[in-house]
Amino acid sequence: MNNKVFSKTMANPSLAYCYIEECINEPDNKMYRYYHWDSKRRMYSKRTFRTDEARLVNFLMYQKPDYLMQLLNECRLYDYVLRKVRAYNKAVDRQTSEFCKNDQEMQLALRLGDMDKYAALERSNRHKAEEMLRDSFYAA
């Protein structure tokens, strides 16, 4: 099932200026298509949101639909999503490096040249940072 959320119409009452479409590829694997009317080219331009972007749009669609409509009506959804995802990824990178700096097991693996163990511990620290910062990702 595909859900669509439309913005208010701008000039033409039969034409939505921006809208978002929910697409489900597989169970629990959603992606969203964002359409924005390009008046110069007289056609919609399309962007696809996946992974972190899709999680944020899904949160907005089902937890904060009024805010999603406001972003669509102001044609700011795409910029908002990119800004939030970029800030989240930077915060996760900072927290991961902090975890790695204080992880004695990682330092030992690095000194011993065990890069497989080092990479596995780094992934583990990244996952821990993502889980820790997930709530801040959804805060408006």
Q: Any residues with CB less than 8 A from the CB of 137 and at least 6 apart, and which?
A: 52, 55, 56, 84, 88
**29-38, strands of its sheet edge to edge:** 4-6, 18-26, 29-38, 43-49
Q: How much is the pTM?
A: 0.76
> Dihedral of CA 113/118/119/120: which sign?
positive
**65-73 and 77-101 helices cross at what angle (nearest 10)?**
120
CB hemisphere CA count around 27 (13 angstroms): 0
**CA 104 distance to own-chain centroid:** 32
CA distance 83 to 75: 14
**Residue 83 CA to chain centroid, in angstroms?**
9
Identity of residue 130: E
Question: In this structure, what token pair is assigned to residue 112?
Answer: 């011993």
Place of tokens 């937890």: 63
pLDDT tens digits in sequence order for the chain, 140 residues long: 456 665 554 445 455 678 888 887 766 678 899 988 877 888 888 888 988 899 899 899 889 999 998 998 888 899 999 999 999 999 999 999 999 999 999 989 989 999 999 999 999 999 999 998 988 787 75
Tokens of 97: 């490096």
